[in-house]
A = this chain, B = another copy of it.
């Protein structure tokens, strides 16, 4: 690409005629840049579930291409961290796509309605701001075919709230606990149950919450023996791990 072509494209970028993403893709095409992403179609076989698309940092075009290959291979598709703009573009291409605005996940999952659900996982949140992360876990469980129950807004500042709802998760195969701030809910929940608890620290809070590191550290130091931890805001990972436990029983 010579300087003149660049000037034209950069001009369109400067006038906001095209977005930075579009700029990058147009420029990439023109110089014949080869494709970079590869799809791991064998993962469903090797790991039990198809590859999941992490949408952050990928253009709608790339996501669309990966999705197309998964669907062509009859695999169900789940994409996480999809913002509404990308979702709109993808929905235009995949009319069967369902987008969850809260969790920012997009699924094309033709057989989901006819599948019978396996096992049971409860997703528990400390406060309303933890909802997007919890929804990402719930969507993941749904995509895996696991029955998911939501228990919301039972943080420890109102200590009567959690015991009232014990019955909803006493028989679950695994729990996902989503909490920011001091992350104490994971330990409290862990003390009530006999199944594994996958704790997700969130970046909810301010000041010394250090973007979620404080909750993360608290959860790692939980005095409850059955609490394992995943990355900050990693709703998908916690849902996936809980789903693996829940589906394992049926094997």
Contact = CB atoms under 8 A, between A and B. Distances in A.
A191 B156 contact: yes
A51 B142 CA distance: 34
Interface residues of A, number: 119
A68 interface: no
Contacts of A118: none
* This chain's copy number in the assembly: 8
Greatest chain B CB density within 10 A among A42, A127, A194 is at: A194
Contact of A2 (B95, B207, B222, B237): B95
Given A153-B36, A184-B188, A232 B217 contact: no
Contacts of A49: 194
Contact of A7 (B88, B98, B190, B191): B88
Contacts of A40: 158, 161
Contacts of A56: 129, 206
A85 B10 contact: yes
20 contacts: A2-B98, A3-B96, A6-B84, A10-B85, A14-B88, A31-B101, A46-B194, A47-B194, A127-B223, A155-B223, A157-B190, A182-B217, A182-B222, A184-B222, A198-B228, A206-B232, A206-B233, A214-B214, A228-B237, A249-B251
